[in-house]
Amino acid sequence: MTHRALNIVPFVSVHNMMRLVNAVGIERFLTELADFVEADFRRWPEFDKTPRVASHSVDGVIELMPTSDGTTYGFKYVNGHPKNMREGRQTVTAFGLLAEVGNGYPQLLCEMTILTALRTAATSAVAARHLARPGSRTMAIIGNGAQSEFQAVAFKALLGIDRLRLFDIDRWASEKCAANLARYGFHIEICGGVAEAVEGADIVTTVTADKQNATILTDNLVGAGQHINAVGGDCPGKTELHADILRRSDIFVEYPPQTRIEGEVQQLAPDHPVTELWRVIAGEVPGRRSVDEITLFDSVGFATEDFSALRYVHTKLTLGDFHEEIDLLADPDEPRDLFGMLHRAAAREGAQL
């Protein structure tokens, strides 16, 4: 790269993200992305870690999620506004950036609305690969909104899930989910309630969006040996599970200082035992210890997962024309002469400064 190109940053738009995912194939994309997520969990001690910086309002939340491994820095901007759906908008939108730590220059600017859905599903499946019973084939998905199909395909790609039991309070959402997944070889049943969906499921995924203390899953519905993938509770005051489920489950989390504020475990005492997922992946502690154990992945999403996703996409830019170049940074001929750069630009445009 020449000096004159230092101002150019690759940008992956929504259009190009969709082209990239379709070119790779969504199951392969999720599988490869999961490998990046798992690899970064294995080197967890290398990362700067902090709970996401959140700005809460009555309507939702806007968050920044930063991290660095000492060589590369990454962050994601993301919102969560449950009411948006009623206005024809996405509940969650996001974009992210990678930068070189050594000089601070961005390496990638990327849409992350689609990519967040992919990395959330990939992370859930990575956790289940270590925590669910071997041979699990049936998954219940409670809440059939924008994330549900990604979860289903990720669990199929990584664990071989081939039977889905769907429930949403809006039956249209379940029908939408079933229609979108029809081509992927699942046996799909749309259920009339949570109890019907959960009965006989090896894995239960809850992915609802209401910003309130909700009880989507009650203790009497959870049986021995099930793995619970709790995705929807991801900010203070937002939960999906009855606290009694937590008390009889072995709980696995990403980053305790964040999860204790935002996750299902916010319902429990601050010292309630939890296990960090990275320690299981790194082989430091066991995951599932028996076929009857109830395991719970209290997923709130953490910055390293976004870092992994951005890192993965960055490696894919060599495959073809899946990005555009944007003039993001000022790059004067003489770094100390930024004002002179304005003058020269004015002269080229025949304007006065």
Domains of the chain listed by start with CATH number: 3-114+305-349 (3.30.1780.10), 125-302 (3.40.50.720)
Residue 353: what pLDDT?
60
For residue 12, the Cα-to-chain-centroid distance in whole angstroms is 18
Task: Report the alpha-carbon distance of residue 78 to residue 97 in Å, rounded.
Answer: 12
Helix (H) or strand (E) holding 34: helix 26-42
Identify the three-state secondary structure at position 135.
coil
Quote the DSSP letter at residue 329: S
- Residue 326 CB neighbours (<10 A): 14
CA dist., res. 121 & res. 134, Å (int): 19
Please choose, from the candidates 80, 92, 81, 79, the residue with its C-alpha nearest in 3D space to the C-alpha of residue 118.
92
Per-residue pLDDT of the chain (353 residues; tens, 9 = 90+): 333 467 889 999 999 999 999 999 999 999 999 999 999 999 999 999 999 998 989 888 899 999 999 999 999 999 988 889 889 998 889 999 999 999 999 999 999 999 999 999 999 999 999 999 999 999 999 999 999 999 999 999 999 999 999 999 999 999 999 999 999 999 999 999 999 999 999 999 999 866 676 788 999 999 999 999 999 877 788 889 999 999 999 999 999 999 999 999 999 999 999 999 999 999 999 999 999 999 999 999 999 999 999 999 999 998 889 999 999 988 888 889 899 888 888 888 876 66
CA distance 42 to 44: 6
Q: What is the DSSP string of 167-220?
A: E-SSHHHHHHHHHHTGGGT-EEEE-SSHHHHHTT-SEEEE----SSEEEEE-GG
CA–CA dist 95, 103 (Å, integer): 22
Q: Which two tokens stand for residue 240?
A: 């999906």
Catalytic residues, by residue number, are: 234
Nearest Cα residue to 142 out of 70, 221, 246: 221
Q: How far apart are CA 277 and CA 280, in angstroms?
A: 5
| 74 phi/psi in degrees, rounded to 5 | -145, 150
Determine which helix (DSSP H) or strand (DSSP E) holds 100, and give its type and residue range.
strand 94-100
- 3-state helix/strand/coil string of 275-286: EEHHHHHCCCCC
Nearest CA to 34 out of 250, 255, 305 is that of 305
